[in-house]
Amino acid sequence: VVFVLFFVVECSIIFLRLYRRGLDQLDELRLERDRVQAAYEVKSQFVSVVSHELRTPLTSINGALGLLRTGAYDSDPAKARNILEIAHKNSVRLSALINDLLDLQKIESGQMSYDFDELDLVSIVEESLAAMESFAQTYGITFVLFAPEEMVIVQADRDRLHQVLDNLLSNAIKFSRRGEQVEVRVVLRGQRVLVEVQDHGIGIPPNSREKVFGKFSQVDSSDRRSHGGTGLGLCIAQEIMAAHGGAVDYTSKLGEGSTFVIDFPFKD
């Protein structure tokens, strides 16, 4: 009897263990299924956002070209030129969007490659300011640079660093009011170096961090109409700076302006 009892208890324990293991595996499978489903939803949402983003400028280009094709504006060159300008603006936006999408895809698949070199950050900032000068002029914005006299050597990918700086500078221009000034500072802080881009423009409301750094997101949905942009720039800038051992951050006051800062290590 003792033997049978022992046998029954042993069998029950084994059965309970197997049953528990089965339940655990079932939980894991359910978790895995939820993960796959969530990834699938993110992907299909991404595809629908991307198609929408691509379709908007394309529709505008098609519309403009269609109008010109009818010859309706042959006798009004000023109007025809205006329509061509719209088509051109949208094709520029389309190629910026495609470049940003390709960058995003490279980042997300871990295939973004960097060509690191020892570079003088002050010269890089000066080059970016020079490249942005005519864009700033069309918005009536002036840049003022504050930088150390000596070279500030950083390990960086020249093109990617320009991409980040161009993004910060063009945002500072776009979100300033005509006639305002944008100050750019290169600041050494311990073993870190900061580049601050300070504007005195429209500013950013509190709790907007997700919109500022999110994919395709803009703080004000009318920003896109009035300022263009893809809403991907800062999301990509964050990834680029992380690859440099640094970060992008900002402080802002609504109506008073924003300061965007990149910081990363520098070499003594």
Within the chain, strands assigned E span 116-120, 142-146, 153-157, 181-189, 192-198, 247-253, 257-265
Q: For residue 215, give the DSSP letter.
A: T
The answer to whether residue 167 forms part of the interface with ligand ADP (CB under 6 A) is yes
What CA–CA distance (Å, rounded) separates 167 from 229?
Answer: 10
The answer to whether residue 218 forms part of the interface with ligand ADP (CB under 6 A) is yes
CB atoms within 10 A of CB 245: 13
CA distances from 121 to 152, 181, 239, 260 (A): 5, 22, 19, 17
For the bound state, the minimum distance from the C-beta of residue 176 to ligand ADP, rounded and expressed in Å, comes to 8
Q: For residue 37, give the DSSP letter.
A: H
Cβ proximity to ligand ADP, 83 vs 204, nearer residue: 204
The answer to whether residue 258 forms part of the interface with ligand ADP (CB under 6 A) is yes
The answer to whether residue 246 forms part of the interface with ligand ADP (CB under 6 A) is no
Cβ proximity to ligand ADP, 152 vs 202, nearer residue: 202
Stretch that binds ligand ADP, among 5-13, 73-81, 127-135, 164-172 (CB under 6 A): 164-172
The answer to whether residue 233 forms part of the interface with ligand ADP (CB under 6 A) is yes
What CA–CA distance (Å, rounded) separates 181 from 5?
Answer: 89
Q: Phi-psi bin for 196: left (phi > 0), alpha (psi -120 to 50), beta?
A: beta
Cβ proximity to ligand ADP, 57 vs 231, nearer residue: 231
What CA–CA distance (Å, rounded) separates 219 from 208?
Answer: 7
The answer to whether residue 202 forms part of the interface with ligand ADP (CB under 6 A) is yes
Site for ligand ADP (CB under 6 A): which residue of 121, 136, 169, 219? Answer: 219
CB atoms within 10 A of CB 9: 10
Cβ proximity to ligand ADP, 220 vs 249, nearer residue: 220
Measured on CA atoms in the order 127, 193, 108, 171, is the torsion positive or negative?
negative
Site for ligand ADP (CB under 6 A): which residue of 104, 204, 240, 262? Answer: 204
Residue with the shortest CB distance to ligand ADP: 229
Residues 144-163, interacting with ligand ADP (CB under 6 A): none
> Which phi and psi (to 5°) does residue 248 adopt?
-120, 135
For the bound state, the minimum distance from the C-beta of residue 124 to ligand ADP, rounded and expressed in Å, comes to 19
Residues at the site binding ligand ADP, with contacts judged by CB under 6 A? 167, 171-172, 175, 199, 201-202, 204, 212, 218-220, 223, 229-235, 258
